[in-house]
Chain A
Amino acid sequence: MLKMALKTTFSWFVLISLLLFLFLADLSLGSVPIPIGTIIKILTLRADIDPVLRDIVLEFRLTKAITCVLAGGGLAIAGLQMQTLFRNPLAGPDVLGLSAGASLAVSLIFMSNATGLVIFTKDAPWAVALAASTGSAIVFSIMYVVARRLQDNASLLIVGLMVGAATSSIVSVLQYLSKAEELQVYVFWTFGSIGGLNWAEIKVLMFILIGGTGIALVTIKSLNAWLLGDQYAQSLGINIKGSRLRILLSTSILTGGITAFCGPIAFVGLAVPHLAKLLVRTTNHKVLIPAVVLGGASLLLFCDVLAQLPRDYVLPINAITAMIGAPVVIWVILRKRFVNP
């Protein structure tokens, strides 16, 4: 038991150190490389720093790094819950079609000329975020109603995927009918962006994360019990319908909110739960939830660091997350083949 306790403490130590290291690395790398020593001085609000450097760090890079932490952590929790609920290792936060719903709403803003409607102008400050959350919320309502009526999760998963496919097809039509400039704006949005949030938006994102995570935390018992299947879970006193709806709500808040501010970020929610389980080696969500938050934050910071490696421009974050995430997914499948022939 002592060996296991040491292993657990070691795992947490690794995760937290990794996060801190990547956080500082993300702050120091970029078009103007700033040494870590200076970063620390800036963060501790020392007065004797070049104000230009201070601005770069506090106004741009800090918000970006914090967004990485919040978005990465939030998507990871959403992905974990989806994988547990559907007992499918390939589920991610987008299986419910929420990102697709958000994308549809955003595309209506950017490419509204094609439809002949102008719903918002894209200059209205919170327009994109509001549209994305509305899109997600509508998909969530559809999934909520469906979840209340369906008995089993496999069907719910299929409905989610189909809703996602349907909304994506509408977006395709809009893209087809749009002008080049509008299309480009929309496509840029789909690349995902974690920079460019101001402190007000970060505050909202933080509330979203706290809300979604809070719901997930009170569902720990049910999440654990889902691993045994719904009959055993029910025999242990779990409210099947209630916990399913709570999981749905938490995932929607997290995925919808994050997509609203950062665009659809792929693969983080799917890959992080697997990576975290490698390290902490348990299926107990009491341990997994904090582990995936740290892991998701670290992963997105890492992807952001990679995205800034080319000096002259910044790579789109979704490209990097896919490059990291796809090998992880392949590895999951191969590992399953070996373990369960």
Chain B
Amino acid sequence: MVMEPGIKLSAAQLSVGFNTNRAITYLFKDVNVSLKAGQLVCLMGPNGVGKSSLIRTLAGLQKPLAGTVVYSFHGPTAVPKNISVVLTNRIHASMMAEELIAYGRYPYVSWNVSLTREDRNQIERAIDRTEIRHLAHRQISELSDGQMQLVMIARALAQDTPIILLDEPTAHLDLNNRVHIMRLLRNLCREMNKAILVSTHELDLALQTADLIWLSGKDKNILTGVPEDLVLNGLFDEIFQFKGFDLKTGRIAHEADRKVNVVLTGSGHEYLWTRNALERAGFTVDTAQSQAGQVHVEVTYEESKPRWVLKKENRLFTLSSIAELIEVI
């Protein structure tokens, strides 16, 4: 089958789901998507929509209900050398991180599992790329969730495949780890020309790192598009049904329950974060200085430290932190 150059994996009329004795449940129906080399794709959708099943089907671990998945490589034995996965399954075994990463070379080793120099090189390269040299000799049972995810990604890297599929690799991780992993994946796409698919429901990171979004959750189909387009044409809003969150501005809606208008002047980061604090506290923030009897706050600097000058009922306060400001207002 001749595919366009650069396309590594292509799903044609793919239906994914499961088949029990009583009924067939379709999670996705007649999906047509493809993965291109050098592209980081984020598969997004609400929980339970079937992202894990789709990934397993694309990886060849689960049979599709209908349709086909076509690869740019040939033969069933070529799959492990061309697709690696990072799933949500936990590994319950006692071994060192390095041993777990070495498993990535299994498609290349013979029955007696002896590693060649090339195998060892790949393992070392994977460890360096994920920057987990200091974890290599630790027992995996002692690693934190974030560290374990990095080890699993290193394992997938050691497998040296042009396609990597990851199922919620950043779930349960703290911000630092999440950012680190997404940036790592994006760099792998760019530098090693891999085709990487990440399923996630973390909008913030996806919007800033993905080249393409596969959006699921509507009519068992997948809509594809560049992140910004999907934001602007409202498709994210439709699928995720945001309540109290405006995607275009990225801000949570606040109820102005304090019924006080604050006129805020200033500039830079301090201005933005002061505004954030005031709105969170329930004030309405304005920049127009029209009505009298309002509260005015000006963000200024004194010896390069921020100060807040509060004018309220003709009294002037100078405060040195936002906490004080909110208290006095």
Closest to B104 in A: A236
Compute how far the CA of A235 lies from the CA of B62 in the bound complex, rounded to whole angstroms.
Answer: 11
Of A218, A219, A283, which contacts B93 at CB under 8 A?
A: A283
How distant is A4 from chain B, measured CB to nearest CB, in Å? 9
> Does B200 interact with chain A (Cβ within 8 Å)?
no
> Does A155 interact with chain B (Cβ within 8 Å)?
no
Of A232, A235, A286, which contacts B113 at CB under 8 A?
A: A286
> Does B49 interact with chain A (Cβ within 8 Å)?
no
B113 touches A220 (CB 8 A): yes
Interface residues on A, range: 20 to 34
B106 touches A236 (CB 8 A): yes
> Does B3 interact with chain A (Cβ within 8 Å)?
no
Residues on the A chain within 8 Å of B79, using CB:
237
Interface string of B74-105 (1 = CB under 8 A from A): 00010111011101010111110001000110
Residues on the B chain within 8 Å of A217, using CB:
111-112
How distant is B90 from chain A, measured CB to nearest CB, in Å? 9
Compute how far the CA of A217 lies from the CA of B110 in the bound complex, rounded to whole angstroms.
Answer: 12
> Does B56 interact with chain A (Cβ within 8 Å)?
yes
Compute how far the CA of A225 lies from the CA of B80 in the bound complex, rounded to whole angstroms.
Answer: 13
A238 touches B106 (CB 8 A): yes
Residues on the B chain within 8 Å of A224, using CB:
103, 106, 113
B87 touches A232 (CB 8 A): yes
A234-286 contacts to B (CB < 8 Å): 234-238, 282-284, 286
B91 touches A229 (CB 8 A): yes
B91 touches A231 (CB 8 A): no
> Does A227 interact with chain B (Cβ within 8 Å)?
yes
Residues on the B chain within 8 Å of A221, using CB:
106, 109-113
B59 touches A339 (CB 8 A): no
Of B89, B95, B104, B111, which contacts A220 at CB under 8 A?
A: B111
Q: List 20 A-B contacts (CB under 8 A).
A: A87-B92, A217-B112, A219-B111, A221-B106, A221-B109, A221-B110, A221-B113, A224-B113, A227-B91, A227-B93, A229-B91, A231-B61, A232-B87, A232-B91, A236-B104, A236-B106, A237-B106, A283-B94, A284-B113, A286-B112
> Does B318 interact with chain A (Cβ within 8 Å)?
no
How distant is A152 from chain B, measured CB to nearest CB, in Å? 13
Chain B residues engaging chain A, CB cutoff 8 angstroms: 56, 59-61, 77, 79-81, 83-85, 87, 89, 91-95, 99, 103-104, 106-107, 109-113, 141, 159
How distant is B21 from chain A, measured CB to nearest CB, in Å? 14
> Does A228 interact with chain B (Cβ within 8 Å)?
yes
A228 touches B103 (CB 8 A): yes
How distant is B278 from chain A, measured CB to nearest CB, in Å? 46
With contact pairs A220-B113, A221-B113 given, residues A236 and B93 touching in the complex (Cβ less than 8 Å): no
Compute how far the CA of A179 lies from the CA of B88 in the bound complex, rounded to whole angstroms.
Answer: 59
B93 touches A231 (CB 8 A): no
Compute how far the CA of A4 lies from the CA of B141 in the bound complex, rounded to whole angstroms.
Answer: 20
How distant is A195 from chain B, measured CB to nearest CB, in Å? 36
B85 touches A235 (CB 8 A): yes
Compute how far the CA of A228 lies from the CA of B85 in the bound complex, rounded to whole angstroms.
Answer: 12
B141 touches A235 (CB 8 A): no
A180-223 contacts to B (CB < 8 Å): 217-221
Compute how far the CA of A224 lies from the CA of B81 in the bound complex, rounded to whole angstroms.
Answer: 18
Closest to B106 in A: A236
B77 touches A220 (CB 8 A): no
Residues on the B chain within 8 Å of A339, using CB:
141
A225 touches B61 (CB 8 A): no
B95 touches A231 (CB 8 A): no
A235 touches B59 (CB 8 A): yes
Residues on the A chain within 8 Å of B60, using CB:
234-235
A235 touches B61 (CB 8 A): yes
Compute how far the CA of A316 lies from the CA of B87 in the bound complex, rounded to whole angstroms.
Answer: 50
Residues on the B chain within 8 Å of A228, using CB:
91, 93, 103
Closest to B100 in A: A228
A267-319 contacts to B (CB < 8 Å): 282-284, 286
With contact pairs A231-B61, A232-B89, A237-B106 given, residues A284 and B80 touching in the complex (Cβ less than 8 Å): no
Compute how far the CA of A231 lies from the CA of B56 in the bound complex, rounded to whole angstroms.
Answer: 9
How distant is B316 from chain A, measured CB to nearest CB, in Å? 59
A236 touches B113 (CB 8 A): no
How distant is A293 from chain B, measured CB to nearest CB, in Å? 16
Closest to B89 in A: A229
With contact pairs A221-B109, A284-B113 given, residues A235 and B89 touching in the complex (Cβ less than 8 Å): no
Residues on the B chain within 8 Å of A236, using CB:
80, 103-104, 106-107, 159
Residues on the A chain within 8 Å of B81, using CB:
237
Compute how far the CA of A237 lies from the CA of B77 in the bound complex, rounded to whole angstroms.
Answer: 7
Compute how far the CA of A87 lies from the CA of B95 in the bound complex, rounded to whole angstroms.
Answer: 15
Compute how far the CA of A220 lies from the CA of B114 in the bound complex, rounded to whole angstroms.
Answer: 11
Closest to A226 in B: B93
Compute how far the CA of A232 lies from the CA of B113 in the bound complex, rounded to whole angstroms.
Answer: 17
Residues on the A chain within 8 Å of B112, using CB:
217, 220-221, 286
| Most chain B CB within a 10 A radius of its CB, from A219, A237, A284 | A237
Compute how far the CA of A224 lies from the CA of B105 in the bound complex, rounded to whole angstroms.
Answer: 12
How distant is A239 from chain B, measured CB to nearest CB, in Å? 10
Closest to A4 in B: B137
Compute how far the CA of A236 lies from the CA of B77 in the bound complex, rounded to whole angstroms.
Answer: 10
Residues on the B chain within 8 Å of A286, using CB:
112-113
Residues on the A chain within 8 Å of B109, using CB:
221
Compute how far the CA of A237 lies from the CA of B112 in the bound complex, rounded to whole angstroms.
Answer: 15
